Chain A
Amino acid sequence: MIRRWFSKNLIKIYAFLAFVYLFIPIAYTMAFSFNDAGKSNLTWRGFTFKNWQNPCGAPEVCSALGNSLKIGFLATTIATILGTMIAFALGRHRFRGRSTVNLLIFLPMATPEIVLGASLLAMFLNLGINPGFWPTVIAHVMFCISFVVVTVKARIASLDPKLEEAAMDLYADEMETFRRVTLPLVAPGIFGAALLAFSLSFDDFIITNFNSGTLTTFPKFVYIASARGIPAQANVIGSSMFILALTIVLAGQLVNRRKAR
């Protein structure tokens, strides 16, 4: 009886264990944000709320977070605009050189980050440009564009062209059709692409490490701090970002479900 239940649900048990595996490190990150840690946050010393009450308590942690947020917003905005334009060109137009464009979009995703980072830094140094804030933004836009294009293009491809035809039949001109029919329909895809771009930018370490010079971003802060002990405040920020992102995505799904009904 038990054995039959077990073999029938084997795949579900396996999936459950896989999820446990996926969430163990996150649980650790969260648990250690409540650790009454001294300098090093590697071992458990007792429960406290003080890290959450004072997330900027560790030196530099909030300025690093601020830099990451600024870079993330700028890079996301630029990459989403440029990527969405390319996605519309690929999804809604026929033109020569299409496969070349597709290849150019695919290549940055297939290039190891270290090569992207090193090549950009070598170029900046050759041009006499010092690494720092703007070179980092430029680099982030570069690797986010491809992901935006792929995400938005998929959304455009899933649209029913009849909806746009219907708008035209109802005497909407091209601009109006785009603004009032196409764009609202593609919007969830653009929003998803922007979220993806932001999370890629916010979490990037390798390319940032090459192009940011002395500027510290949040991942860079964690990396540098890891040599002498990461303050528990970094876990507070990591956990908050996790909860925030999860809330946004789940809220988005709820809204979609309401709309579908």
Chain B
Amino acid sequence: MAFIAAVTKRSSIARGIKRPSTPYLLLIPGLAWLFLFFVYPLINLASTSTQTPAASGEIGAYVQSFRFANYFDAISGAKEQFIRSIIYALIATVIALAISYPLAYAIAFKSGKWKNLLLVLVVAPFFTSFLLRTIAWKQILGDQGPVVTVLRFLHILSPQAGLTASAFAVVTGMTYNFLPFMTLPLYASLERIDPRVLEAAGDLYANAITTFRKVTFPLSMPGVVAGTLLTFIPAAGDYINATLLGNPRTKMIGNVIESRFFEIVDYPTAAALSFLLMAAILVLVAVYVRRSGTEELV
């Protein structure tokens, strides 16, 4: 009897089905949380985005009037910051890719027994506060900092010129802060490549460059796509780097949304800008994912 029981249990595990209700019981609490505090707020935000000020004129009071023109008003008031966010995020993503790819390649193929330690070191910046790291960049790029001192000594920078409070500083901060998001997926996809495939390319008289171009890089494409998305999305919505390292002319869309919310208490415009940001990101992501031919990734 026990034997039969064991056999049935065994086959049920192999099929991956225990009781048909079990998966739903496991899912309900977590999914309920996401519905209540992620999906519903987004719907609520969509509703806020078409509201207009209440007749009472009270600050922060709005009524629903399905005014879709809010979106046009919002974008025409923040076009500059919007485009700037996308451009800064794109530049930061490209530089992060250029820094991360060789780094991930070295960890995946050249690090031997140090692999795990090096991976920890890649994530290590995350162990200090995001804000403290950004402030550190303010000091590094500051007028008394090493970079400016060297550049001034080499006469690349004039004695009056500095690097902080500039677009350069903002992009530098963004590149640095989101770098591990790029390196880790790249590493994951490079590490999965079978070294024998690379040897085979060599056996077929491909030189190092051809092997990389025709074999390694295409095989690492899922990592490139995942890494660029994970870097680009938070970078486009970020406003910390712009606030701490930039100047009024480097403000990003995040700065606008934040000030609309807290300083001007203009919830509909803040909501409309949030959705426009999401829409812009989704469109760029969709085009990018399609063009890079890794649709199964997402």
Residues of chain A having any CB pair with chain B under 8 Å: 11-12, 14-15, 18-19, 21-26, 28-29, 32, 42-43, 82-83, 85-86, 88-89, 92-95, 101, 104-108, 110-116, 118-123, 125-126, 138-139, 141-142, 145, 149, 161, 164-165, 168-169, 171, 173-174, 199, 203, 205-206, 209-210, 218-219, 222-223, 226, 230, 234-235, 238-239, 241-242, 245-246, 249-250, 253
Q: Which of A85, A142, A238, A250 contacts B27 (CB 8 A)?
A: A85
Whether A122 pairs with B48 at a CB distance below 8 angstroms is yes
Residues of B within 8 A of A218 (CB): 129
Residues of B within 8 A of A145 (CB): 30, 33-34
Cβ-closest chain B residue relative to A112: B237
Whether A112 pairs with B121 at a CB distance below 8 angstroms is no
A44 CB to closest chain B CB (Å) equals 8
Whether B131 pairs with A118 at a CB distance below 8 angstroms is no
Known A19-B121, A114-B257; judge A101-B271 contact (CB<8 A).
no
Dominant SS among interface residues on chain A? helix
A172 CB to closest chain B CB (Å) equals 9
Residues of A within 8 A of B13 (CB): 161, 164-165, 168
Residues of A within 8 A of B281 (CB): 110, 112
- The total of interchain contacts (Cβ-Cβ below 8 angstroms) comes to 253
Within 8 A of A (CB), among B1-25: 2, 6, 9-10, 13-18, 20, 22-24
Whether B128 pairs with A241 at a CB distance below 8 angstroms is yes
B248 within 8 A of A: no
* Bound CA–CA A86/B106 (angstroms): 35
Cβ-closest chain B residue relative to A25: B136
A-B residue pairs in contact (CB < 8 Å), sample of 6: A19-B118, A85-B26, A89-B22, A107-B38, A108-B38, A113-B238
Whether A253 pairs with B120 at a CB distance below 8 angstroms is yes
Whether A25 pairs with B233 at a CB distance below 8 angstroms is no
Q: Which of A82, A138, A230 contacts B29 (CB 8 A)?
A: A82
Give the interface size bracket for B toward A.
35 or more
* Bound CA–CA A173/B31 (angstroms): 29
B278 within 8 A of A: yes
Residues of B within 8 A of A242 (CB): 124, 127-128
B292 within 8 A of A: no
Among the stretches B70-78, B137-145, B214-222, the one at the interface with A is B137-145
What are the nearest 6 A-B pairs in CB distance? Answer: A112-B237, A15-B106, A82-B30, A25-B136, A93-B23, A119-B41
Whether B132 pairs with A222 at a CB distance below 8 angstroms is yes
Q: Which of B16, B48, B233 contacts A112 (CB 8 A)?
A: B233
B99 within 8 A of A: yes
Whether B27 pairs with A86 at a CB distance below 8 angstroms is yes
* Bound CA–CA A26/B107 (angstroms): 21
Whether A113 pairs with B237 at a CB distance below 8 angstroms is yes
Whether A239 pairs with B126 at a CB distance below 8 angstroms is no
